Chains A and B, each alone.
Chain A
Amino acid sequence: MNVSLTTIEPATAIRVPAFIEFQGASITYGRGEKAVQALAPTSLKVAEGEFVALVGPSGCGKSTILKMVGELLKPSTGHVFVAGREIGATPIRIGMAYQNPTLLPWLNIRDNVMLPLKIVPPFRQGYRAKRKTEYRDRVETLLDQVGLGGFGDKYPWQLSGGMMQRANLCRALIHDPDLLLLDEPFGALDQFTREELWAIMQDLWLSKKLTVLLVTHDLKEAAYLADRICVMSARPGRILDDSPVEIARPRTIDMTFEPDFVALNQRLRAMIVGARGGTGIVSHAPGGPRS
């Protein structure tokens, strides 16, 4: 079997110790004849504070990479290091948000957002005493930042999809994570809500400077938010291309119509079409330039 080992250096010129490092990590599901390689041996480095987007055709192992970083999956071969330690023993705090907001329907938004504080040390110590004062203020501040001020007492079903996703982001950020993992968090939203949330996400990232890994199938979203975009091949997933996004921040929606941005999108799209087998049917790759 042709297994190619892709070693990709960080695109940024400055040598910083990698915050996340994949060393030939691969994932194989099943055993024997039925074994399916979901992710070919992959090497990848992400610096601290970097915003990296993973794009590629569906089923290419983007989410698999995310799950390994989040310690939900162990690599079948190779190693994954986060903050200098092999996964399973990393001391960092992680926040995670999926496309499905999975807010708990029996809790109001404030208590939903507070959930990580109940679990993650050191916040869990003194949770009972602080939930009415310190933590409450903390949640309110964050809710204000994403435009959900005053919605703390509402229940999830009283909110629109976009508002639930904002609350979901808050839940992923309330415990001051060092690393944020986003798996198509804006995928189910309409175009305008999505663009609004891109701006919010960018503001949050600029103010907190945390490391973010974003899995998305929306090329425009990747280009808007990320410092670096990794394009992945179809299964078994490999990183085909890893290039920086050289567009100044803060980025705006208007910028997405400028030539640089459009050119970047077209280049990414061509690569993904190639990775999918190049049938030319690209209509389901949203966010690309529409002509």
Chain B
Amino acid sequence: MHAIVDSLAMIGISYVMGFLFYGFYRQFNARVQRRWGPSLWQNFFDNMKFLLKTETLTHGPMFFLGPMIIAAGAITTVLFVPFLKDSDWLQGFSEHGNLILIIYLLVVGPLGNALAVGSSGNPFGVMGVTRGLTRLMGLEVPFFLGLALVMLQHETTSVHAIMAAQDGLAQWNLFTNPIAFIVILLPFIASQNASPFDVVGAPVEVYAGPRVEFGGRLLGLLMTQNMMMTVAKLVLVVDLFMGGAGNVPILILKAFSLFLLTASISLVFPRLKTEQTVDFFWKVPLGLGVLGVIATVWLPWGA
């Protein structure tokens, strides 16, 4: 019973945080461009509208199963990331999982995307998926190297143990291991589909990217899972680098400040091309990651 209520609460919190954060992002974006922008609730209305529309497309069973796979991956990820530290609530099934499992779950989304879009046969969609998988090749290596650095530092794969090790502000991994934070931050921006690494859904260029063939309810489902996945990733980075959160307001504050950082970065940089993105990831974050591994493992002043 506790597990069911807890899971529903986690799903609800991640959804509400998701649409409010994205609503803020759209308004922030508008103010930077000197216009008023939509209300904070705009993403909620968009999502509800899509969920209330009809869906009359038929492209075979995989076209319908793909969004289900993506949404299942997002909900499972939410349930395996502990939202609070030292609490019975908002834990989901994180007791039974660890960072390695979360790494696997993060890849379910792009794979489901490729399956669904591939069966739709739309050339714009296939172009978007190709770009997405190419970018994934670039961003995954530094992202996992950054996570490996954190796991090496604490010699555990448990998110709970890593959170417990960061007691005060001075023990935050953000300050004790800044190289890992930078190595993770750049792929993290890309995995949120934010500029300058937003070449996958690039509006105007590839007609909405992988989602070109989705309209109606399936697109609504994809929007929902996207917002929940964003919050799951934000909370994961808060857990790993900012010491987790004791209660929900602190969690929202920490996740929001991280979101503000990534949003500010993505507002000022223009879009990179696919090969530029991969080049960048394999030079800057990966180079930093390799330096970090050398500093942590082999040098005498390392841990």
State whether these chains interact. Answer: no
Q: Residues on B close to A: CB < 8 A?
A: none
Q: Residues on A close to B: CB < 8 A?
A: none
